[in-house]
């Protein structure tokens, strides 16, 4: 599909009829491709247009336009209906188009001004409004001291009101004209070239003004060097119509002429004083409350109503000129600064991975070595997965101990129930069985956030768990205990001790609590003669484990007569606090945001 782009021949064309070739969606956004369009697709440093595509029964408010291999894609919000093959009206948002056109042409005006001042300058890139940035990039170095000269040349090009020429040519004609190419261009289609006045033409695909005099006031703000390239930055003021004095301008009344003469006189003085006054003196003389600009504004009171509009425009133009001159002081200051290269640099602060993230990476590596696959399942889930599928039907008392956060919503799924912040990573057990189409073997390690209404030295409302699940033929408790022992040795060291205690979980049978010896009190239960406030017994519970209940296997579509499995779910924070030498007796410190604490890891 190829879209004909009408703006290439007429940037001032605001609307056209077109036929819809394709309609699609990207998330909540509707995309439309037309056979032709007046809207500019973002590229070449220029932002895309915005506007409307209006059909018989639908309206697409276009917020972005992109180029996709010849097809122009219009993206936006659709109200009503549009259909492929339908004839629609396409209208560009003229205020956005004209602003983008001003910024784009301004870049070419500044570039031509630079070539007049530094003929060897070679432009390689430019940004004309994307991300609210305006600059031209050169592969050659341009002296910052030239900023004021470039500003004067830029203003002169605007005042000359030079015509901007656009022409469609073939690649062969481009070569015959010996027009230099800053980058490689397609050889199998027509290209457009543009030139300002009698300057050398150059390839260009953006929207352009008719003349330089139509451009708004341009201020060259800075010249920055970086990695051998130079970036010339510029800004644009709001439009002021009829700023230029045309030769055929009709005679103005005596009062208007006085205003105009006074403005010209102030401008001539400012051009001279900018060379001799300090920045503060220039600000006080021309732009302060009692400065010359304020005096000119007071004179506007004497102008008749018929003449006040044109006189005000002249005064406003003078204000922009004075502000532009004041900006040159900042540039001169930068250029005069002396840098002592012998001064030692400031060592930058380097961050590091949060201790919980460090633990996640290490836990993942430990289990990957014995064949587990890392997965992750939803933290906001339907209640069927963390409860019903795990042998805890509705109104079962086992649900109470999880102290679950419910998501407030009027919608309840007819099969899966309400939405909850999942209180454990066990919601991933049946999801993993479903992902593998109920076909063991399964070796899963699921790491995610969990949520419970608990908060003390060993609990937080939000915490992390890692869930292990193994399902295969012949899996026994010995495999479970061996896996726990393997993790203890790898994570805590060869001296680590673990134990399992009989317990009850609704989704495992038999079930166990898993404990590791407490590193804070070295497994004694005492610290400085008092009971250890963290473990209270010498052992620290990290989570539960057990053999997968047959009903859970059935929920996942697996025959419990052929397969068995084990599962475990442990809190990462509580597991991590047992690391040797950590001596962390309050789990909440991990989320305190205290840099003095976090910088220790």
How confident is the model at residue 31, as a pLDDT?
A: 94
Residue 244, pLDDT score: 37
What are the contacts of 60-69 at 24+ separation with CB within 8 A? 60/30, 60/32, 65/37, 65/39, 65/40, 65/41, 66/41, 66/42, 67/41, 67/42, 67/43, 68/33
Report residue 125 as tokens: 């890139």
CA–CA separation, 541 and 499 (whole Å) = 10
pTM: 0.43
Count of CB atoms situated within 10 Å of the CB of 377:
21
For the chain, what is the total number of helices (H) and then of strands (E)?
13, 27
- Cα 515 to chain centroid distance, Å, stands at 44
The angle at the Cα of 471, spanning 465 to 472, to the nearest 5 degrees, equals 155
Dihedral angle sign, alpha carbons of residues 334, 338, 342, 346: negative
pLDDT of residue 437: 95
Distance CA 576, CA 1 (A): 57
- pLDDT classification of 234: cutoffs 50, 70, 90: very high
pLDDT at residue 581, as a whole number: 62
How confident is residue 334, by pLDDT bands cut at 50, 70 and 90?
Answer: low
Six-digit token string for 339? 């840098």
Indicate where the chain has its CATH 3.30.930.10 domain(s): 355-374+424-598
Tens of pLDDT along 43-91? 888 999 999 898 888 889 899 999 888 899 999 998 888 999 999 999 9
Cα separation, 315 vs 366, in Å, equals 74
CATH number for region 4-92: 2.40.30.130
Q: Residue 449: what pLDDT? A: 92
Q: Which CATH number fits domain 98-236: 3.60.10.10, 3.30.460.10, 3.30.565.10, 3.30.980.10?
A: 3.30.980.10
Residue extent(s) of CATH 2.40.30.130 domains in the chain: 4-92
Q: Between 147-159 and 305-336, two packed helices, what is the crossing angle to 10 degrees?
A: 150
What is the pLDDT, as a whole number, of residue 535? 75
Q: Name the least confident of 304-308, 514-518, 572-576.
A: 304-308
Model confidence pLDDT, tens digit, residues 343-392 = 788 888 777 888 888 889 999 999 999 999 999 999 999 999 999 999 99
Encode burial over 9-48: b for 16+ CB neighbours within 10 A, e otherwise. Answer: eebeebebebebbebeeeeeebbbbbbbbbbbbbebbbbb
What pLDDT does residue 583 have? 61
pLDDT level of residue 413 (50, 70, 90 thresholds): very high
Instruction: Specify the DSSP element, H or E, that contains 20.
Output: strand 15-26
Decide if pLDDT at 133 tops 90: no
Mean pLDDT of all residues in 480-502: 88
pLDDT of residue 438: 95
Task: Give the whole-angstrom CA distance, residue 428 versus residue 434.
Answer: 10
CATH class of 355-374+424-598: alpha beta
Q: Which band of pLDDT confidence, cut at 50, 70 and 90, is reported for residue 335?
A: low
Closest to 76 in 3D by CA, of 27, 139, 135, 13: 27
Q: What is the dihedral of CA 405, 411, 414, 419, to 10 degrees?
A: -20
In this structure, of 200-204, 484-488, 508-512, the range with the lowest mean pLDDT score is 200-204
Q: Does 337 or 455 have the greater pLDDT score?
A: 455
Q: Is the pLDDT of residue 208 over 50?
A: yes
**Percentage of residues of the chain with pLDDT beyond 90:** 43
Give residue 403's pLDDT band: very low, low, confident or very high (50, 70, 90).
confident
Question: Does residue 295 register a pLDDT over 70?
Answer: yes
């Amino acid at each position: 599909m190829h879209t004909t782009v009408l703006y290439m021949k007429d940037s001032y064309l605001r609307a056209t009829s077109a036929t819809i070739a394709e309609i699609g969606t990207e998330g909540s956004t509707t995309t439309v491709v037309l056979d032709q369009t007046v809207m500019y697709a973002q590229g070449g440093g220029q932002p895309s247009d915005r506007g409307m595509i209006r059909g018989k029964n639908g309206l697409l408010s276009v917020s972005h336009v992109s180029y996709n291999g010849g097809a122009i894609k219009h993206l936006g919000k659709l109200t009503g209906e549009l259909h492929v093959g339908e004839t629609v009206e396409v209208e560009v948002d003229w205020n956005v188009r004209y602003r983008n056109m001003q910024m784009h042409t301004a870049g070419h005006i500044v570039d031509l001004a630079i070539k007049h001042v530094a003929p060897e300058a070679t432009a390689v890139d430019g940004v004309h409004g994307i991300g609210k940035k305006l600059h031209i990039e050169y592969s050659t170095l341009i002296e910052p001291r030239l900023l004021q000269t470039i500003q004067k040349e830029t203003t002169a090009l605007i005042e000359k009101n030079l015509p901007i020429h656009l022409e469609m040519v073939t690649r062969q004609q481009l070569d015959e004209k010996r027009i230099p190419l800053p980058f490689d261009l397609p050889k199998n289609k027509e290209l457009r070239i543009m030139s300002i006045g009698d300057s050398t033409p150059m390839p260009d695909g953006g929207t352009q003004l008719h003349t330089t005099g139509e451009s708004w006031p341009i201020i060259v703000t800075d010249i920055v060097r970086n990695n051998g390239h130079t970036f010339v930055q510029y800004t644009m003021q709001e439009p002021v119509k009829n700023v230029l004095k045309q030769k055929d301008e009709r005679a103005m009344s005596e009062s208007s002429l006085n205003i105009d003469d006074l403005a010209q006189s102030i401008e001539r003085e400012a051009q001279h004083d900018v060379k001799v006054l300090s920045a503060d003196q220039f600000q006080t003389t021309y732009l302060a409350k009692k400065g010359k600009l304020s005096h000119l504004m007071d004179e506007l009171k004497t102008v008749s109503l018929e003449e006040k509009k044109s006189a005000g425009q002249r005064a406003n133009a003078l204000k922009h000129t004075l502000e532009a001159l004041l900006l040159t002081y900042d540039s001169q200051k930068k250029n005069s600064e002396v840098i002592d290269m012998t001064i030692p640099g400031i060592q930058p602060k380097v961050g590091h991975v949060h201790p919980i993230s460090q633990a996640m990476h290490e836990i993942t590596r430990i289990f990957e070595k014995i064949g587990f696959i890392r997965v992750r399942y939803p933290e906001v889930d339907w209640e069927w997965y963390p409860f019903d599928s795990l042998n805890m039907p509705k109104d079962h008392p086992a649900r109470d101990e999880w102290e679950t956060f419910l998501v407030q919503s009027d919608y309840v799924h007819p099969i899966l129930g309400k939405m909850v912040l999942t209180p454990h990573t066990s919601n991933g057990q049946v999801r993993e069985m479903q992902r593998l189409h109920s076909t063991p073997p399964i070796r899963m390690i699921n790491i995610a956030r969990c949520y419970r209404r608990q908060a003390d030295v060993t609990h937080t409302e939000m915490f992390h768990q890692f869930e292990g699940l193994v399902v295969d033929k012949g899996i026994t408790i010995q495999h479970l205990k061996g896996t726990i022992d393997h993790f203890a040795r790898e994570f805590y060291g060869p001296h680590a001790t673990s134990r399992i205690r009989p317990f009850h979980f609704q989704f495992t049978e038999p079930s166990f609590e898993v404990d590791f010896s407490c590193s804070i009190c070295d497994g004694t239960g005492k610290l400085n003669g008092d009971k250890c406030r963290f473990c209270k017994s010498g052992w620290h519970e990290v989570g539960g484990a057990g053999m997968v209940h047959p009903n859970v296997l059935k929920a996942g579509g697996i025959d419990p007569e052929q397969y068995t499995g084990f599962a475990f779910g442990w809190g990462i924070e509580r597991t991590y606090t047992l690391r040797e030498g950590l001596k962390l007796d309050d789990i909440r410190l991990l989320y305190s945001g205290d840099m003095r604490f976090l910088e220790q890891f």
